Amino acid sequence: MNSLPLTAPDGTVHAYLCGTCFMVHKSHFHKPGNLPEQKQLDLVRDSAEKCCACRTCGSPVDRDVSPYHCRPHHEVEKAATEARRVHYEEVDKRGTVVYDGAIKNALDRDAAESLRDYMSDLSEEYWCAGWLSDLEYSLWGFVVRGPSDWGLGQIQASEVDKIKRLSDKCGGWWIWDEEVSREIFVTSSEWDVIFASHSQSR
């Protein structure tokens, strides 16, 4: 693809146009010292060159079907997107089946779901994440060893007491299941084995 330089009267190049759609491409590295000036211009020119080129093969895009791909590769991407949609739909259905089967083992379903929501709330509050990686182990570690610094602050004794109280009431705990990409309930006896195995492996 071709690019067109935008120059000042003294011949200095300040930006580039895409030679197909005429979109202006300019540097975003405004602070001095971020990148050498020539490097900035090289990146801008490269951006203009690729503006209307297929992201897969570099041939001109077919704007009737996609701003990012030629027609053949647009069809490939469309098929891949549909395959991903079907895959995640199947994972979601499987997750629902696993979830429903597991939570039947809770002594108190309402308490179990309250525990799950509270664990997620703590993850969001202290880490800004809906379900922090290894959240189940971190929170249970506080139950075993007591409160301490965590993420953006220090988890409180009252918060630890609440998760332990809810866990006792429902007779279990929540773990993240990678296969179904969601939280799954396990009984207290199952959790004891999981936590012990995790602790030994560290």
Task: Assess whether 91 and 111 both reside in one domain.
Answer: no
Task: Assess whether 157 and 80 both reside in one domain.
Answer: no
Burial 163-201 (b: 16+ CB within 10 A, else e): bbebbebbbbbbbbeeebebbbbbbeeebeebbeeeeee
pLDDT of residue 35: 61
- Residue with tokens 């009737």, as numbered in its chain: 64
Task: Assess whether 48 and 58 both reside in one domain.
Answer: no
Burial 93-102 (b: 16+ CB within 10 A, else e): eebeebbeeb
Task: Assess whether 150 and 185 both reside in one domain.
Answer: yes
Task: Assess whether 30 and 112 both reside in one domain.
Answer: no
pTM confidence score: 0.62
pLDDT of residue 189: 96
Q: Residue 192's beta-bridge partner residues?
A: none
Task: Assess whether 111 and 190 both reside in one domain.
Answer: yes
Using CA atoms, how far apart are residues 158 and 160, in angstroms rounded to an integer?
Answer: 5
Task: Assess whether 40 and 90 both reside in one domain.
Answer: no
Q: Residue 175's beta-bridge partner residues?
A: 184
Using CA atoms, how far apart are residues 6 and 17, in angstroms rounded to an integer?
Answer: 7
pLDDT of residue 200: 82
With beta carbons less than 8 A apart as the criterion, state whether 135 and 123 touch: yes
Backbone phi, psi, residue 23, to 5°? -70, 140
Q: What one-letter code names the amino acid at 201?
A: S
pLDDT of residue 34: 59
Task: Assess whether 195 and 123 both reside in one domain.
Answer: yes
Parent domain of 25? 3-52
Coil/strand/helix, residue 12 = coil
Q: State the total domains in the chain.
A: 3
The string of pLDDT tens digits covering residues 169-184 is 999 999 999 988 899 9
User: Could you tell me what percentage of the chain is helix, strand and coil, using 3-state DSSP and rounding each to the nearest 5?
Assistant: 50, 15, 35
Task: Assess whether 41 and 115 both reside in one domain.
Answer: no
Q: Which DSSP string do the residues of 105-165 spell out, in sequence order?
A: T-S-HHHHHHHHHHHHHHHHHHHS-SS-TTHHHHHHHHHHH---EETTEE--HHHHHHHHH
pLDDT of residue 33: 55
pLDDT of residue 108: 97
pLDDT < 70: residue spans in the chain? 1, 28-35
pLDDT of residue 199: 84
Secondary element (H or E) of residue 17: strand 13-18
Task: Assess whether 95 and 112 both reside in one domain.
Answer: no
Task: Assess whether 118 and 196 both reside in one domain.
Answer: yes
Task: Assess whether 112 and 148 both reside in one domain.
Answer: yes
Neighbouring CB atoms inside 10 A of 20's CB total 16
pLDDT of residue 181: 87
